Structure 1
Amino acid sequence: MRKAIILLPLLILSVKMALTQEIVIPSEQVTDKIRGGLLGQNLGVLNGLPYEFTFIEQPGDVSGYVPSLPEGARTDDDTDFEWVYIYQMQKTGQIRIPYPEVAQLWRERINRNIWSANRYARHLMDIGIEPPLTGYASINPWSSFNLSGQFLSETFALLAPGMPQTASKIGLHYTQVAIGQESAQATQFFCSMIAAAFIEDDIREIIQWGIAALDEKSIIRDIARDVGDWQRQHPDDWPKTWELIHEKYKQDTWIESYNGYGLNAAAVVAALLYGNGDFAKTIEYAFNFGWDADCNAATAGTILGAVKGYRWMMSQGWQIVDRYANTTREHMLMDETMTSFADRLMDLFETVNEHNGGTRFRAGGILSYRIPTERPEPVARLHDNEAQYQTLVDDLREEVIENISSTDRRLQARGAYLAICLDMAAEVSRQDAKSWEKSVRALSGYWKIVNNVFYGSDFPALNNLASEFVKAGIGKPTRKLEDHEIYEDMTIWKEPGTWPPAHVGRITNVNEDDL
């Protein structure tokens, strides 16, 4: 049996010590840190909403920030995906819900207030493309850069104190519904940092846990180390660090820069370093480093909330109402408290810990947990994009052909979409032109997918897919759908031409305006 270290009060461990030893933490302390992490996440995201995409080309100027939730918390896409999952995980006792059930949860409960990679994945599910395919870059163009790997992961890490590999595995199971590759590296980076925050309070040490969890080739390793170096060089000049980050890691397109993993991972690391353990200052720095600021403040808030704990946070005189109101998710509780949400996490932590060989015991009247710690290391590796693409082509070829020859409209659309994504359109159209024409028409009626392809954003992978849609005979709609049109109309398929008019039928001469 490994030697146990008792954390009462919190004993700080170096990474090397924690890798080989078992820890014992009183139940009251685990609860306090889980609640603190969840409260910190909600403070960061909801207090950060006014600054989301506000500070883009220049750093922010927020000062005097005081954390507060005078009306309590509410659902937001930074927390409510996880809430849906956590509720179902507790209900079923499954830590990693099987992907067919995940897809069904999305169809039932996740239909509004979703954007980017997640909106794209959700509408692919309407034609039977389900996880994990919805998270592959060849099928979901947002997958390789979108920030969802960060902002949909934090709550899962609260289930695995001191267990970074487990935290990463749980987080990745859910974030990879919509993202992959470097975006998935962000999941294990931040999940490992949150797992560390239960047994560490040294910020640089916590960041080292995150770095150790990254694939050796991950660019996030470079980002974290660069930011650490720049903060040391400019300890009293955070705008200089902002400038260096922006100069080196800004991407070619707006959306890949500011809604991507790179600048935002850098912003979180910088906020943690400059905040130096001060909760309010750390969140304020997250606002001021900008870009997707609410997401970054939520991530930093989860880490610092777990370090500080709920009791400390509630003793600061901040105006916080214990409420978590449902404003976005169908077929879920209309209202609960942040405390009851955290209690669900505590219940699931017990399941995770027991599965990993941990135990709960009472000694001297104190209920405690024996937790087997883990080494922070990558559980998901970066893959060669071309090799992954070819594997998909080989694995899905027969399925695509079967779908296209089906009489089921949904399967026809599925086959057409996959054929377009996997460069099989010309091949299958030659083999069976009539079935291909029917399949393309079926796909063109899935109006939300077509809108996502042509109007989702402006970046190369999506633009290339739009071009392939046009070549296949699906034209660009005359206008972009408003968010409320997408959220309020739950009709899945519409007769082509009955919604914002589009060209239907094969287009032989492609104009630049159609792309």
Structure 2
Amino acid sequence: MKRPAAPQALLSFAIQRIGSCLRDVDGAGEEMQVVEKHRCNTQVRIGPLGGEAPMRMSLRWMIVLTLAVCSIGSAIGVEYRELPLSVYRDKMRAAWIGQMAGVAWGAPTEFRWQDKIIPEADMPAWKPSLINDAFGQDDLYVEMTFLRTMEMHGLNCSIRQAGIDFANSGYPLWCANNAGRTNLRNGIAPPDSSHPKFNKCPNDIDYQIEADYSGIIAPGMPNWPIRLGEKFGRLMNYGDGMYAGQFIGAMYATAFFESHIPTIIATALKAIPEGSQYAEMVRDLLAWFRENPDDWEATWHRIQRKYREDPEYQKASNGGIDCKINGAYVLLGLLYGKGDPDRTIIIATRAGMDSDCNPSSAAGVLFTTMGIGRVPARFTAVLDETQKFSHTAYNVPELTAVCEKLMREILSKSGGRVVRRNGEEILRIPVETVRPSALELSWDPGPTAGSKFTRSEMRRIKFPDFAGQMQRAVSRFAPGWRIARCGPDMQPGLLPEWRGRTNVLLTHPLTQGVGCVLSRSLRLPAGGHPQLRLVVGHYPQGDWDLIIRVDGKEILRRTVGAATTTEGWMDVQADLAPYAGRKILLELINEPTGWSFEAAYWAAITVQTR
């Protein structure tokens, strides 16, 4: 809140404050004489009142004087808002629970419905146990890399340090994240790691789904999501792709003080360049909601026509993973959810596309406005507080602790402070003039920065060898077999248990048109009847095609999915008798049927002779 005061009163207070500080520092107790005052700048001369010449100030006096005058000057015209620390903690925890609930609830639908609304009958039901599925979701653990960088290297860590830490991450990535990290590992330092010259996914959703942290640690301070977007969002996104994350972060920052969703959105809009297409999308959603506040499906169709079917809004777009279309679905859920957590998540999910990340963003913002005390118990009843998020050092208590630590540092750097009143800590947060990033267009980018990592920096980048890890997993599971073209989706590797089977190998196609291949060269005995036996499974919401080839010739193809398996598993036998006595190349292909949950689960691979 703003606390205006008359100039004379402030001046008198300033003189008293400085005198007190000087006496505290030197104990000299000199008087102070006001020489001149221009607007908010007060010049003070140290010396006896009425003296002809001012005394020469010691260095300590000068420091105290500067601090005191600056503090008083800042009080004139600076507006503060107050937030009890207990309320911050309540809302901050709710922000993370909202993300977890949204991503876990929407996960079975992710990218299964593109350019169409998910039928109401196909919307999964919420189960309290789902909340713990969020610990393995990239929607959460990737942004914790950024928190860890700031925890270890400070808020002022360089963008190059941020890039090194991201390059060293061991989790699988896709789209802009993967392109940016690949650039970093190849020596292209930020900001060029996200430049469209080197990154073909600059407008993808990636930083949008990872920027929640930037507002959670900056309540009421929207310039920090902007700054942090320039540091961490710049690793993988450019233009609208980066603005998307800055906007999401600004919504969180606003949600600590505001609960009216259209106001939160309109306030956060100020944090991104008004000439960007992302800002245009936000303005459209606000206008379309005002025009038709009760029919979200009608608004969905307006979104589809403009942001999917109009070529003007497909420039530098990677299709359904574009930040604008998915950002529109986040706002669709927030606006038409009208403050109801279930309705918000359901609408953001049923809009389709990245239908786990979008409800995660929407629920995170909404739950922040609510605080954990108002979040329905079904979202927290069985939450495992001890489980760590995949690829991170944090469980829920550790995550909230590091967020509070960083929040206190941000508050101090922003000119705010923590005061104690009636036994309670209160955050005094300065109201900021928002300063958005400069406008840049991914389809018409500016020049590159020529940023390269130095040799010493490259020696600090020691990322995991995914291909080597997968080959070691295959060798343990099925000695003599090789793996190629395995993609990182769904965290491939050797699983201790899956759907009642132990020691299960998980593979995933490299891309939508490139299947993962397990192969082995072997000589079949001349006598007997050689036979290949497999036990294969699928992810509950997915399916895939099993292809068996001998010397490049396909001898079997079957779809492995819910309709073709028993309790998720299929026994497959392939006759190899025609190749008895020969050396053959045997290939097993995990071929995608689409691009949703295409993982193959291998419980057995054996060649037997009867």
TM-score of the two chains, using structure 2 as the length reference: 0.59
Seen in structure 2, the aligned counterparts of structure 1 residues 224 and 67 have a Cα distance that, compared at 3 Å, is: farther
**Equivalences for residues 113-512 of structure 1 within 5 A:** 113-143=172-202, 145-250=203-308, 256-313=318-375, 315=377, 319-323=381-385, 325-326=387-388, 328-329=390-391, 332-333=392-393, 336-382=394-440, 388-389=446-447, 391-392=448-449, 395=450, 480-483=485-488
Aligned to 2:116: 58
Superposed CA deviations along residues 422-454 of structure 1, whole A, max 9, x for unmatched, are: xxxxxxxxxxxxxxxxxxxxxxxx999xxxxxx
Partner amino acid, structure 2, of 1:132: P
Gaps of 5+ in 1: 5-18, 412-445, 449-478, 490-498, 501-515
Q: Distance in 2 between matches of 1:317 and 1:81?
A: 22
Q: Distance in 1 between matches of 2:485 and 2:138?
A: 22
Q: Alpha-carbon deviation of 1:206?
A: 0.4
Seen in structure 2, the aligned counterparts of structure 1 residues 387 and 45 have a Cα distance that, compared at 3 Å, is: closer
Which structure shows the higher helix fraction?
1
1:101 aligns with 2:158: no
Seen in structure 2, the aligned counterparts of structure 1 residues 80 and 243 have a Cα distance that, compared at 3 Å, is: same
Q: Alpha-carbon deviation of 1:2?
A: 4.3
1:75 aligns with 2:133: no
TM-score of the two chains, using structure 1 as the length reference: 0.69
Highest Rg: 1 or 2?
A: 2
Q: Alpha-carbon deviation of 1:319?
A: 3.3
Seen in structure 2, the aligned counterparts of structure 1 residues 364 and 228 have a Cα distance that, compared at 3 Å, is: same
CA contact (8 A) 1:90 1:348 kept: yes
Seen in structure 2, the aligned counterparts of structure 1 residues 290 and 183 have a Cα distance that, compared at 3 Å, is: same
Q: Alpha-carbon deviation of 1:27?
A: 0.7
Q: Alpha-carbon deviation of 1:85?
A: 2.2
Partner amino acid, structure 1, of 2:275: K
Gaps of 5+ in 2: 5-76, 460-464, 468-483, 495-515, 518-610
CA contact (8 A) 2:106 2:124 kept: no
Aligned to 2:470: none
CA contact (8 A) 1:75 1:328 kept: yes
Q: Alpha-carbon deviation of 1:78?
A: 1.1
Q: State the aligned residue count.
A: 395
Seen in structure 2, the aligned counterparts of structure 1 residues 327 and 177 have a Cα distance that, compared at 3 Å, is: same
Q: Alpha-carbon deviation of 1:115?
A: 0.7
Q: Alpha-carbon deviation of 1:322?
A: 3.6
Please, what is the CA RMSD of the aligned residues? 3.4
- Paired residue secondary structure (2:418): strand
% identity of equivalent residues: 24
Q: Distance in 2 between matches of 1:75 and 1:178?
A: 21
CA contact (8 A) 2:104 2:131 kept: no
Q: Alpha-carbon deviation of 1:243?
A: 1.1
Superposed CA deviations along residues 312-337 of structure 1, whole A, max 9, x for unmatched, are: 215467534143744642xx43xx43
Which structure shows the higher strand fraction?
2
Superposed CA deviations along residues 453-497 of structure 1, whole A, max 9, x for unmatched, are: xxxxxxxxxxxxxxxxxxxxxxxxxx95433799779xxxxxxxx
Instruction: Decide which of 9, 16, 21 is 2:79's aligned counterpart.
Output: 21
Q: Alpha-carbon deviation of 1:54?
A: 2.1
Superposed CA deviations along residues 265-284 of structure 1, whole A, max 9, x for unmatched, are: 11111111100111121111
Q: Alpha-carbon deviation of 1:348?
A: 0.7
Q: Alpha-carbon deviation of 1:237?
A: 2.1
Seen in structure 2, the aligned counterparts of structure 1 residues 138 and 345 have a Cα distance that, compared at 3 Å, is: same
Superposed CA deviations along residues 286-337 of structure 1, whole A, max 9, x for unmatched, are: 10111111111111111111101112215467534143744642xx43xx43
Partner amino acid, structure 1, of 2:200: P
Superposed CA deviations along residues 364-414 of structure 1, whole A, max 9, x for unmatched, are: 11111111122344234325865623x54xx57xx89xx9xx9x9x99xxx
Aligned to 2:3: 3
Aligned to 1:456: none
- Paired residue secondary structure (1:388): coil
Superposed CA deviations along residues 65-87 of structure 1, whole A, max 9, x for unmatched, are: 54734562413221112212213
CA contact (8 A) 1:47 1:68 kept: no
